[in-house]
Structure 1
Protein backbone atom coordinates (compact mmCIF):
# COMPACT_ATOMS: atom_id res chain seq x y z
CA UNK A 1 0.00 0.00 0.00
CA UNK A 2 1.48 3.34 -1.06
CA UNK A 3 1.12 6.72 0.54
CA UNK A 4 0.28 9.71 -1.63
CA UNK A 5 0.92 13.24 -0.45
CA UNK A 6 -1.14 16.14 -1.74
CA UNK A 7 0.81 19.32 -2.44
CA UNK A 8 -1.34 22.23 -1.27
CA UNK A 9 1.28 24.89 -2.04
CA UNK A 10 0.05 27.12 -4.87
CA UNK A 11 2.19 27.74 -7.92
CA UNK A 12 4.92 30.30 -7.20
CA UNK A 13 5.47 33.54 -9.11
CA UNK A 14 8.82 32.12 -10.31
CA UNK A 15 7.11 29.03 -11.69
CA UNK A 16 4.52 31.13 -13.50
CA UNK A 17 7.31 33.29 -14.94
CA UNK A 18 9.13 30.17 -16.19
CA UNK A 19 5.97 28.83 -17.84
CA UNK A 20 5.37 32.12 -19.63
CA UNK A 21 9.04 32.42 -20.62
CA UNK A 22 8.83 28.96 -22.23
CA UNK A 23 5.54 29.84 -23.92
CA UNK A 24 7.17 33.02 -25.24
CA UNK A 25 10.04 30.98 -26.71
CA UNK A 26 7.58 28.68 -28.50
CA UNK A 27 5.51 31.62 -29.73
CA UNK A 28 8.61 33.46 -31.02
CA UNK A 29 9.61 30.34 -32.93
CA UNK A 30 6.21 29.44 -34.35
CA UNK A 31 4.70 32.89 -34.92
CA UNK A 32 3.53 33.50 -38.45
CA UNK A 33 4.56 36.58 -40.40
CA UNK A 34 1.29 38.34 -39.61
CA UNK A 35 2.39 38.84 -36.01
CA UNK A 36 4.46 41.97 -35.59
CA UNK A 37 7.52 40.53 -33.87
CA UNK A 38 8.76 44.02 -32.96
CA UNK A 39 5.96 44.07 -30.42
CA UNK A 40 6.49 40.46 -29.37
CA UNK A 41 5.42 40.57 -25.76
CA UNK A 42 3.05 43.49 -25.99
CA UNK A 43 1.19 43.02 -29.26
CA UNK A 44 -2.31 41.59 -29.07
CA UNK A 45 -1.60 39.09 -31.86
CA UNK A 46 1.39 37.73 -29.96
CA UNK A 47 -0.60 37.34 -26.75
CA UNK A 48 -3.42 35.59 -28.61
CA UNK A 49 -0.99 33.18 -30.28
CA UNK A 50 0.70 32.47 -26.92
CA UNK A 51 -2.71 31.79 -25.35
CA UNK A 52 -3.55 29.25 -28.09
CA UNK A 53 -0.21 27.50 -27.51
CA UNK A 54 -0.76 27.51 -23.73
CA UNK A 55 -4.22 25.94 -24.09
CA UNK A 56 -2.91 23.23 -26.45
CA UNK A 57 0.01 22.37 -24.15
CA UNK A 58 -2.20 22.32 -21.05
CA UNK A 59 -4.63 19.98 -22.80
CA UNK A 60 -1.92 17.57 -23.98
CA UNK A 61 -0.26 17.68 -20.53
CA UNK A 62 -3.57 16.81 -18.82
CA UNK A 63 -4.01 13.86 -21.19
CA UNK A 64 -0.38 12.80 -20.67
CA UNK A 65 -0.55 12.60 -16.86
CA UNK A 66 -4.29 11.87 -16.72
CA UNK A 67 -5.51 14.87 -14.73
CA UNK A 68 -8.46 17.21 -15.11
CA UNK A 69 -8.01 20.56 -16.91
CA UNK A 70 -6.52 23.23 -14.68
CA UNK A 71 -5.93 26.93 -14.37
CA UNK A 72 -2.38 28.10 -13.75
CA UNK A 73 -3.69 30.29 -10.94
CA UNK A 74 -4.73 27.31 -8.78
CA UNK A 75 -2.09 24.78 -9.81
CA UNK A 76 0.02 23.23 -7.04
CA UNK A 77 3.81 23.56 -7.10
CA UNK A 78 4.51 19.90 -7.84
CA UNK A 79 2.23 19.83 -10.88
CA UNK A 80 3.60 23.22 -11.97
CA UNK A 81 7.13 21.76 -11.93
CA UNK A 82 5.94 18.78 -13.99
CA UNK A 83 4.23 21.15 -16.45
CA UNK A 84 7.43 23.21 -16.79
CA UNK A 85 9.38 20.01 -17.52
CA UNK A 86 6.71 18.93 -20.03
CA UNK A 87 6.95 22.25 -21.91
CA UNK A 88 10.75 22.14 -21.73
CA UNK A 89 10.83 18.69 -23.33
CA UNK A 90 8.39 19.92 -25.99
CA UNK A 91 10.92 22.66 -26.82
CA UNK A 92 13.76 20.14 -27.07
CA UNK A 93 11.71 17.67 -29.13
CA UNK A 94 10.68 20.32 -31.67
CA UNK A 95 14.03 22.13 -31.71
CA UNK A 96 12.71 25.41 -30.30
CA UNK A 97 15.71 27.70 -29.71
CA UNK A 98 16.04 29.49 -26.37
CA UNK A 99 16.62 33.23 -26.51
CA UNK A 100 16.27 33.59 -22.77
CA UNK A 101 18.97 32.23 -20.45
CA UNK A 102 18.12 28.56 -19.86
CA UNK A 103 18.31 28.97 -16.08
CA UNK A 104 15.28 31.27 -16.39
CA UNK A 105 13.38 28.47 -18.10
CA UNK A 106 13.76 25.54 -15.70
CA UNK A 107 13.60 24.74 -12.00
CA UNK A 108 15.20 21.35 -12.40
CA UNK A 109 18.78 21.62 -13.66
CA UNK A 110 19.22 17.84 -13.59
CA UNK A 111 16.22 17.36 -15.87
CA UNK A 112 17.50 20.10 -18.20
CA UNK A 113 20.91 18.38 -18.43
CA UNK A 114 19.18 15.05 -19.04
CA UNK A 115 17.20 16.56 -21.94
CA UNK A 116 20.41 18.01 -23.37
CA UNK A 117 21.88 14.49 -23.42
CA UNK A 118 18.69 12.89 -24.75
CA UNK A 119 18.31 15.39 -27.61
CA UNK A 120 22.08 15.94 -28.11
CA UNK A 121 22.01 19.70 -27.43
CA UNK A 122 24.99 21.44 -25.87
CA UNK A 123 24.18 22.36 -22.27
CA UNK A 124 26.01 25.65 -22.73
CA UNK A 125 25.46 26.85 -26.30
CA UNK A 126 22.30 25.01 -27.35
CA UNK A 127 24.06 23.86 -30.52
CA UNK A 128 24.19 20.27 -31.68
CA UNK A 129 26.18 18.31 -29.13
CA UNK A 130 27.84 15.06 -28.20
CA UNK A 131 27.90 13.22 -24.90
CA UNK A 132 30.99 13.96 -22.81
CA UNK A 133 32.00 11.38 -20.20
CA UNK A 134 33.42 13.36 -17.30
CA UNK A 135 34.64 10.20 -15.63
CA UNK A 136 36.76 8.94 -18.52
CA UNK A 137 36.00 5.63 -20.18
CA UNK A 138 39.68 5.15 -20.96
CA UNK A 139 41.53 4.30 -24.14
CA UNK A 140 40.77 1.03 -25.82
CA UNK A 141 37.47 0.41 -24.02
CA UNK A 142 34.34 -0.29 -26.00
CA UNK A 143 31.71 2.45 -25.53
CA UNK A 144 29.00 -0.02 -26.58
CA UNK A 145 29.68 -2.37 -23.66
CA UNK A 146 30.64 0.34 -21.13
CA UNK A 147 28.22 0.86 -18.21
CA UNK A 148 27.26 4.51 -18.72
CA UNK A 149 25.50 4.62 -15.34
CA UNK A 150 28.95 4.68 -13.73
CA UNK A 151 30.03 7.96 -15.31
CA UNK A 152 28.91 11.56 -14.96
CA UNK A 153 27.70 12.78 -18.34
CA UNK A 154 27.00 16.11 -19.99
CA UNK A 155 26.21 17.08 -23.57
CA UNK A 156 28.63 19.56 -25.12
CA UNK A 157 29.16 21.03 -28.57
CA UNK A 158 32.38 19.97 -30.31
CA UNK A 159 33.95 23.34 -29.37
CA UNK A 160 32.96 23.04 -25.70
CA UNK A 161 33.97 19.36 -25.63
CA UNK A 162 37.46 20.29 -26.86
CA UNK A 163 37.65 23.14 -24.35
CA UNK A 164 36.69 20.77 -21.49
CA UNK A 165 39.59 18.50 -22.47
CA UNK A 166 42.01 21.43 -22.87
CA UNK A 167 41.38 23.14 -19.53
CA UNK A 168 40.36 20.09 -17.49
CA UNK A 169 36.98 19.34 -16.01
CA UNK A 170 37.36 21.18 -12.69
CA UNK A 171 38.32 24.44 -14.43
CA UNK A 172 35.60 23.98 -17.04
CA UNK A 173 33.01 23.32 -14.33
CA UNK A 174 33.97 26.54 -12.52
CA UNK A 175 33.85 28.55 -15.76
CA UNK A 176 30.36 27.43 -16.77
CA UNK A 177 28.82 26.52 -13.38
CA UNK A 178 27.73 23.11 -14.66
CA UNK A 179 28.50 19.55 -13.70
CA UNK A 180 27.58 16.22 -15.21
CA UNK A 181 24.77 13.96 -14.13
CA UNK A 182 24.42 10.23 -13.60
CA UNK A 183 21.79 8.40 -15.62
CA UNK A 184 19.87 5.36 -14.50
CA UNK A 185 19.71 2.30 -16.81
CA UNK A 186 16.33 3.33 -18.30
CA UNK A 187 17.67 6.82 -19.09
CA UNK A 188 20.82 5.36 -20.66
CA UNK A 189 18.61 3.31 -22.96
CA UNK A 190 16.30 6.24 -23.71
CA UNK A 191 19.33 8.38 -24.61
CA UNK A 192 20.58 5.64 -26.98
CA UNK A 193 23.88 5.22 -25.18
CA UNK A 194 23.62 1.40 -25.29
Structure 2
Protein backbone atom coordinates (compact mmCIF):
# COMPACT_ATOMS: atom_id res chain seq x y z
CA UNK A 1 0.00 0.00 0.00
CA UNK A 2 1.41 3.37 -1.04
CA UNK A 3 1.49 5.94 1.77
CA UNK A 4 0.36 9.41 0.72
CA UNK A 5 -0.75 12.72 2.20
CA UNK A 6 -3.84 14.49 0.81
CA UNK A 7 -4.49 18.23 0.54
CA UNK A 8 -7.93 19.77 -0.12
CA UNK A 9 -8.21 23.03 -2.06
CA UNK A 10 -10.48 25.00 -4.40
CA UNK A 11 -9.62 26.03 -7.96
CA UNK A 12 -11.94 27.79 -10.42
CA UNK A 13 -14.84 27.21 -8.01
CA UNK A 14 -14.17 23.45 -8.02
CA UNK A 15 -13.09 21.30 -5.11
CA UNK A 16 -9.83 19.37 -5.62
CA UNK A 17 -7.72 16.94 -3.64
CA UNK A 18 -3.97 16.78 -4.27
CA UNK A 19 -2.09 13.61 -3.31
CA UNK A 20 1.57 13.82 -2.27
CA UNK A 21 3.63 10.64 -1.66
CA UNK A 22 4.99 10.33 1.88
CA UNK A 23 7.72 8.00 0.60
CA UNK A 24 8.97 7.11 -2.92
CA UNK A 25 6.34 5.34 -5.03
CA UNK A 26 6.92 1.83 -6.35
CA UNK A 27 6.57 2.78 -10.01
CA UNK A 28 7.13 -0.77 -11.27
CA UNK A 29 4.20 -1.99 -9.16
CA UNK A 30 2.02 0.93 -10.29
CA UNK A 31 2.77 0.19 -13.95
CA UNK A 32 2.04 -3.52 -13.45
CA UNK A 33 -1.44 -3.00 -11.98
CA UNK A 34 -2.48 0.12 -13.93
CA UNK A 35 -0.60 -0.13 -17.21
CA UNK A 36 0.99 3.30 -16.81
CA UNK A 37 3.41 5.13 -14.51
CA UNK A 38 2.02 8.56 -15.33
CA UNK A 39 -1.78 8.27 -15.20
CA UNK A 40 -3.67 5.85 -12.97
CA UNK A 41 -6.74 5.56 -10.73
CA UNK A 42 -6.47 5.11 -6.97
CA UNK A 43 -8.72 3.93 -4.15
CA UNK A 44 -8.08 5.70 -0.86
CA UNK A 45 -9.37 5.81 2.68
CA UNK A 46 -9.08 8.44 5.37
CA UNK A 47 -6.41 7.46 7.89
CA UNK A 48 -7.67 7.38 11.49
CA UNK A 49 -4.95 8.78 13.75
CA UNK A 50 -6.83 7.99 16.95
CA UNK A 51 -5.17 5.15 18.84
CA UNK A 52 -7.48 2.36 19.97
CA UNK A 53 -9.25 2.87 23.31
CA UNK A 54 -8.89 0.67 26.37
CA UNK A 55 -12.68 0.25 26.51
CA UNK A 56 -12.64 -1.10 22.93
CA UNK A 57 -10.15 -3.81 23.87
CA UNK A 58 -12.16 -4.58 27.01
CA UNK A 59 -15.34 -4.98 24.94
CA UNK A 60 -13.60 -7.18 22.35
CA UNK A 61 -12.32 -9.65 24.94
CA UNK A 62 -15.62 -9.62 26.86
CA UNK A 63 -17.40 -10.66 23.65
CA UNK A 64 -14.70 -13.24 22.88
CA UNK A 65 -15.19 -14.75 26.35
CA UNK A 66 -18.95 -14.97 25.71
CA UNK A 67 -18.19 -16.95 22.53
CA UNK A 68 -15.70 -19.15 24.45
CA UNK A 69 -18.36 -20.02 27.03
CA UNK A 70 -20.88 -20.78 24.30
CA UNK A 71 -18.56 -22.80 22.04
CA UNK A 72 -16.05 -24.24 24.55
CA UNK A 73 -13.27 -23.27 22.11
CA UNK A 74 -9.99 -21.88 23.53
CA UNK A 75 -9.87 -18.11 23.81
CA UNK A 76 -6.69 -17.85 21.73
CA UNK A 77 -8.30 -19.83 18.91
CA UNK A 78 -11.40 -17.60 18.88
CA UNK A 79 -9.29 -14.44 18.98
CA UNK A 80 -7.08 -15.59 16.09
CA UNK A 81 -10.19 -16.59 14.12
CA UNK A 82 -11.45 -13.01 14.17
CA UNK A 83 -7.98 -11.58 13.52
CA UNK A 84 -7.84 -13.71 10.36
CA UNK A 85 -11.37 -12.68 9.39
CA UNK A 86 -10.40 -9.03 9.82
CA UNK A 87 -7.33 -9.55 7.60
CA UNK A 88 -9.42 -11.25 4.92
CA UNK A 89 -12.01 -8.45 5.08
CA UNK A 90 -9.63 -5.47 5.08
CA UNK A 91 -6.37 -6.79 3.66
CA UNK A 92 -4.60 -5.51 6.81
CA UNK A 93 -3.16 -7.11 9.94
CA UNK A 94 -4.43 -6.14 13.39
CA UNK A 95 -3.16 -6.34 16.95
CA UNK A 96 -4.64 -5.11 20.22
CA UNK A 97 -1.29 -4.98 22.01
CA UNK A 98 -0.44 -1.71 23.77
CA UNK A 99 2.51 -1.18 21.42
CA UNK A 100 0.43 -1.56 18.22
CA UNK A 101 -0.63 1.35 15.99
CA UNK A 102 -4.16 0.01 15.65
CA UNK A 103 -6.70 2.83 15.30
CA UNK A 104 -10.17 3.33 16.77
CA UNK A 105 -11.68 2.63 13.33
CA UNK A 106 -9.70 -0.60 12.95
CA UNK A 107 -10.99 -1.97 16.27
CA UNK A 108 -14.55 -0.90 15.44
CA UNK A 109 -14.41 -3.04 12.28
CA UNK A 110 -13.05 -5.98 14.31
CA UNK A 111 -15.79 -5.63 16.96
CA UNK A 112 -18.48 -5.39 14.26
CA UNK A 113 -17.27 -8.73 12.84
CA UNK A 114 -17.57 -10.32 16.30
CA UNK A 115 -21.06 -8.85 16.86
CA UNK A 116 -22.16 -10.08 13.41
CA UNK A 117 -21.00 -13.59 14.31
CA UNK A 118 -22.82 -13.54 17.66
CA UNK A 119 -26.08 -12.42 16.11
CA UNK A 120 -25.89 -14.88 13.20
CA UNK A 121 -25.14 -17.86 15.48
CA UNK A 122 -27.40 -16.69 18.31
CA UNK A 123 -24.53 -16.58 20.81
CA UNK A 124 -25.77 -15.33 24.21
CA UNK A 125 -24.41 -11.92 25.20
CA UNK A 126 -23.37 -12.25 28.84
CA UNK A 127 -20.38 -10.32 30.17
CA UNK A 128 -20.05 -8.61 26.81
CA UNK A 129 -23.62 -7.32 26.98
CA UNK A 130 -22.74 -4.98 29.85
CA UNK A 131 -20.28 -3.17 27.59
CA UNK A 132 -22.05 -3.32 24.23
CA UNK A 133 -22.11 -0.10 22.18
CA UNK A 134 -25.88 0.46 22.50
CA UNK A 135 -25.45 4.06 21.36
CA UNK A 136 -23.81 3.09 18.05
CA UNK A 137 -25.97 2.93 14.94
CA UNK A 138 -24.49 -0.32 13.62
CA UNK A 139 -25.27 -2.25 16.80
CA UNK A 140 -28.81 -0.85 16.93
CA UNK A 141 -29.25 -1.84 13.28
CA UNK A 142 -28.18 -5.41 14.06
CA UNK A 143 -30.57 -5.55 17.02
CA UNK A 144 -33.37 -4.47 14.67
CA UNK A 145 -32.32 -6.95 12.00
CA UNK A 146 -32.27 -9.85 14.47
CA UNK A 147 -35.14 -8.58 16.62
CA UNK A 148 -33.13 -8.30 19.84
CA UNK A 149 -34.17 -5.82 22.52
CA UNK A 150 -31.58 -3.06 22.65
CA UNK A 151 -31.76 -3.05 26.45
CA UNK A 152 -31.95 -6.71 27.52
CA UNK A 153 -31.44 -8.86 24.40
CA UNK A 154 -34.85 -10.57 24.54
CA UNK A 155 -37.13 -10.85 21.48
CA UNK A 156 -38.08 -7.37 20.30
CA UNK A 157 -40.61 -5.60 18.12
CA UNK A 158 -39.59 -2.62 15.99
CA UNK A 159 -41.18 0.34 17.76
CA UNK A 160 -41.67 3.79 16.25
CA UNK A 161 -40.33 6.65 18.34
CA UNK A 162 -42.03 9.29 16.16
CA UNK A 163 -45.74 9.95 16.53
CA UNK A 164 -47.47 8.24 13.62
CA UNK A 165 -50.79 9.99 14.13
CA UNK A 166 -54.23 8.88 15.26
CA UNK A 167 -56.25 7.06 12.63
CA UNK A 168 -53.41 6.87 10.11
CA UNK A 169 -52.96 3.61 8.21
CA UNK A 170 -49.40 2.45 8.89
CA UNK A 171 -49.42 0.53 5.58
CA UNK A 172 -49.54 3.90 3.78
CA UNK A 173 -46.59 5.45 5.63
CA UNK A 174 -43.00 5.65 4.38
CA UNK A 175 -41.35 4.10 7.44
CA UNK A 176 -37.85 4.96 6.17
CA UNK A 177 -38.56 8.48 7.46
CA UNK A 178 -39.46 7.27 10.97
CA UNK A 179 -37.08 6.72 13.90
CA UNK A 180 -37.28 3.24 15.40
CA UNK A 181 -35.83 1.23 18.26
CA UNK A 182 -35.93 -2.54 18.89
CA UNK A 183 -37.55 -3.09 22.29
CA UNK A 184 -39.22 -6.00 24.05
CA UNK A 185 -42.71 -5.39 25.43
CA UNK A 186 -41.44 -4.70 28.94
CA UNK A 187 -38.94 -2.08 27.86
CA UNK A 188 -41.37 -0.60 25.35
CA UNK A 189 -43.80 0.05 28.20
CA UNK A 190 -40.89 1.33 30.26
CA UNK A 191 -40.03 3.75 27.43
CA UNK A 192 -43.50 5.30 27.54
CA UNK A 193 -43.55 5.40 31.34
CA UNK A 194 -40.21 7.20 31.64
CA UNK A 195 -40.26 9.29 28.49
CA UNK A 196 -37.60 9.35 25.79
CA UNK A 197 -34.92 11.37 27.59
CA UNK A 198 -35.08 9.57 30.95
CA UNK A 199 -35.19 6.18 29.19
CA UNK A 200 -32.13 7.07 27.09
CA UNK A 201 -30.24 8.29 30.15
CA UNK A 202 -31.10 5.21 32.24
CA UNK A 203 -30.18 2.60 29.61
CA UNK A 204 -27.46 4.55 27.73
CA UNK A 205 -29.26 4.41 24.38
CA UNK A 206 -29.82 7.24 21.87
CA UNK A 207 -32.98 9.30 22.35
CA UNK A 208 -33.95 9.10 18.66
CA UNK A 209 -33.01 5.50 17.81
CA UNK A 210 -32.22 5.06 14.10
CA UNK A 211 -33.85 5.06 10.68
CA UNK A 212 -33.94 1.85 8.61
CA UNK A 213 -33.76 1.47 4.85
CA UNK A 214 -36.70 0.11 2.87
CA UNK A 215 -35.08 -3.29 2.20
CA UNK A 216 -34.46 -3.93 5.90
CA UNK A 217 -37.98 -2.81 6.83
CA UNK A 218 -39.50 -5.14 4.23
CA UNK A 219 -37.44 -8.09 5.53
CA UNK A 220 -38.66 -7.31 9.04
CA UNK A 221 -42.25 -7.37 7.82
CA UNK A 222 -42.91 -3.68 8.46
CA UNK A 223 -45.57 -2.84 5.84
CA UNK A 224 -45.56 0.64 4.37
CA UNK A 225 -45.48 2.80 1.28
CA UNK A 226 -42.09 2.09 -0.29
CA UNK A 227 -43.00 2.77 -3.93
CA UNK A 228 -40.35 5.46 -4.26
CA UNK A 229 -37.62 3.32 -2.65
TM-score, normalised via structure 2 length: 0.65
- For the residue of structure 1 that corresponds to 2:127, the secondary structure is coil
Is residue 2:59 matched to residue 1:18? yes
Greater relative contact order (Cα < 8 A, sep 6+): 1
Matches within 5 A, 1:86-125: 86-100=113-127, 102=129, 104-106=131-133, 109-125=136-152
Choose between structure 1 and 2: higher strand proportion. 2
Is residue 2:208 matched to residue 1:180? yes
- 1:146 is displaced (CA, Å) by 2.1
Structure 1 81/171 Cα, relative in aligned 2: closer, same or farther at 3 Å?
closer
Instruction: Report Cα offsets for 1:11-40 as digits up to 9, x if no partner.
Output: 3322221211110111111127xxxxxxxx
Structure 1 24/68 Cα, relative in aligned 2: closer, same or farther at 3 Å?
same
Instruction: Report Cα offsets for 1:82-120 as digits up to 9, x if no partner.
Output: 111221122122222222263523386222222111110
- Alignment coverage as a number of residue pairs: 177
Structure 1: which 5+ residue stretches go unaligned? 33-48
CA RMSD of aligned residues (A): 2.8
2:106 equivalent in structure 1: 79
Larger Rg: 2
Q: In structure 2, what is the Cα distance between the partners aligned to 1:118 and 1:97?
A: 16
1:67 equivalent in structure 2: 91
- For the residue of structure 1 that corresponds to 2:133, the secondary structure is coil
Is residue 2:164 matched to residue 1:137? yes
Structure 2: which 5+ residue stretches go unaligned? 1-16, 18-42, 224-229
Structure 1 23/95 Cα, relative in aligned 2: closer, same or farther at 3 Å?
same
TM-score, normalised via structure 1 length: 0.75
Is residue 2:82 matched to residue 1:57? yes
Residues 84 and 106 of structure 1 are in contact (CA less than 8 Å); yes or no, is this contact kept in structure 2?
A: no
Residues 120 and 130 of structure 1 are in contact (CA less than 8 Å); yes or no, is this contact kept in structure 2?
A: yes
